[in-house]
A and B are shown apart, each in its own frame.
Chain A
Amino acid sequence: MRMSRFFFLLGQGVKNIFTHGFMSFASVAVITACLFIMGCFSLITLNIDNMIAEMQSQNRVIAYVDEDLSEEQARALESKVSKVKNIETCEFVTREEAMTSFESDYDADLFENIDSSVFRHRYVLSLTDLSLMQETKTDLENIDGIADVRAHLDYAEKFVTLRNIVSIVSVILVVTLFVVSLFIMTNTIKLATFTRREEIAIMRMVGATNGFIRLPFVVEGLILGALGGAIAYGLVALVYHLATQKLLAAMAFGFVVLVPFSTVALPLLGVFLGVGILVGVLGGVSAIRNYLKV
């Protein structure tokens, strides 16, 4: 294709956006709305996931060392403990450190007449996969020198279930919204194309190739899709900013850990523009397909 012809077709695509202003507005609005909903839901999911991960990281397993072992012997167990499958981090805590920690967490007066010898040396462990907690607990209990293992199996199961539900629901919703937006976009462009069927018929009659007829629609879909993506991104950024401010103000104690927008900004923009353009172009191509058969 000659460059002048290519630019003519690009120009036609851009011109069509303004000529069919209302339909263009409707297409952008549909893409924006769908991406906005998709974006909001994805960010909610991401934050729930992040909070679960945070809670999961705090759900530690404690392996108590046999009281008869000295600190040196207790420390020597670290190589065995850390080699157990599914252990992510392994931290040795002496009985004195454990007591200090308790004193700071609770009222220090409670520990006034208590000796640190009532505490045991211990390993504070975090796991890679909470769903394997039972197996890990058994493995730890089988190590000579480990007297007891405390693990909150019920919490672990709940976290895993919650995380799985959130993941499944988010995937279903995002896929559904993508299909819905593609469907609506295709139909909106189909409607726009229907009003231009005469124009397409004339183009075919004077000998236009399918590529020549299709390109302006592709350009139009691409621009409208990108525009919808950009607007949706702006809206999501704004809403997220406002929502996080309100939420953090309401949760004065700050136990809610929110994902900063800056960490997701670039990937989100990429996804929004990508999905917007994909939906726009696919919508444009599929809408005129029927007119290009003869």
Chain B
Amino acid sequence: MVEFKDVRMVYKNTNAVALDGVSFSISDGEFVFLVGPSGSGKTTVIKLLTGEERITDGELNVNGFDLKKIRLRRLPRLRRTLGVIFQDFRLIDKMTVFENVAFAMRVVGAKKREINKRVPQVLELVGLAGYEKRRPEELSGGEQQRVAIARALVNNPRMIIADEPTGNLDPVRSLDLMLLLEKINELGTTVLVVTHEKELVNAFSKRVIAIDSGKVISDGMDGYYGYENE
């Protein structure tokens, strides 16, 4: 569950207003696209959700954590309820596929037995069974993004946040990836996809929140990419 209430966010260094009175909520189990042009505030939304930045004003609650008051040492707890996927995959090159996914479980203190059981299950879910011993450099972009999804999923997060997940993929792989995210959502995980790929958004009948100049300009359930000037 995510709830933005009249959130204002001003970067301290530059005094730039990144978000200005943003309000929306995402319920558990929803699939939501967050769209908008470059510099609209999409990245700031992700940074606020993951606790990398703090709101200046308003209220923000994520999976039961009050992000206005959260203490620094509680941030890892918040982040364990989230699975984040990036455009550039951010895999550790020197680790195998298995190790990259297992790494997320190591971090939260999972036992070896649990890791050995869970990682193959997740890799199978994302269509990478048999890829365990390969390294990221041996995989295609689409496959690397699937590893990133597996890593995001392996700790059973309540929510997946995908930041431009198809930015480095061709249209076919992009569609495959979105279908995979849809499948994950159907299994009960909330999914927030941040993107500016109009065709992809319009291909799915999902809720779309459009943001521009730090304000929400539309929030609809019809799967329509609400920002036309991209």
Contact = CB atoms under 8 A, between A and B. Distances in A.
Nearest to B104: A206
Interface in A180-226: 198-199, 201-210, 212
Contacts of A209: 73, 76
Contact of B79 (A8, A204, A212): A204
B60 interface: no
B80 to A, nearest CB: 4
A206 B107 contact: yes
Contacts of A8: 106
B111 interface: yes
B103 interface: yes
A216 to B, nearest CB: 11
Given A205-B84, A206-B103, A207-B107, A198 B112 contact: no
A206 B155 contact: yes
Contacts of B112: 4
Contacts of A206: 79-80, 103-104, 107-108, 151, 155
A217 to B, nearest CB: 15
Contacts of A201: 90
Nearest to B100: A202
Instruction: Tell me if A's interface is mostly helix, strand, loop or mixed.
Output: helix
Interface string B96-122: 000000011011110110000000000
A294 B79 CA distance: 12
B90 A294 contact: no
Contacts of A199: 92
A198 B111 CA distance: 25
A210 B111 CA distance: 20
A205 B80 CA distance: 8
A19 B92 CA distance: 12
A199 B103 CA distance: 11
B50 interface: yes
A45 B143 CA distance: 64
B86 to A, nearest CB: 9
A294 B107 contact: no
Nearest to B111: A4
A294 B52 contact: yes
B94 interface: yes
A203 B90 contact: no
Interface string A1-15: 010110010000000
Interface string B48-76: 00111100000000000000000001011
B107 to A, nearest CB: 4
B77 interface: yes
A193 to B, nearest CB: 15
A202 B73 contact: no
Contacts of A202: 90, 92, 103
A8 B112 CA distance: 10
Contact of A205 (B50, B53, B111): B50
A103 to B, nearest CB: 82
A199 B106 CA distance: 14
Contact of B107 (A2, A4, A198, A203): A203
Given A5-B109, A207-B107, A19 B94 contact: yes
B219 to A, nearest CB: 27
Nearest to A12: B106
B107 A212 contact: yes
A37 B193 CA distance: 57
A206 to B, nearest CB: 4
Interface string B20-51: 00000000000000000000000000000011
B76 A208 contact: yes
Contacts of A204: 76, 79
A128 to B, nearest CB: 57
Q: Which 6 A-B pairs have the closest CB atoms?
A: A207-B80, A207-B79, A206-B104, A208-B107, A207-B76, A209-B76
Interface of B: 50-53, 73, 75-80, 84, 90, 92, 94, 103-104, 106-109, 111-112, 151, 155
23 contacts: A4-B111, A8-B106, A19-B94, A198-B90, A198-B92, A199-B92, A202-B90, A203-B107, A205-B50, A205-B79, A205-B84, A206-B103, A206-B104, A206-B107, A207-B79, A207-B104, A207-B107, A207-B155, A208-B76, A209-B73, A210-B73, A294-B51, A294-B75
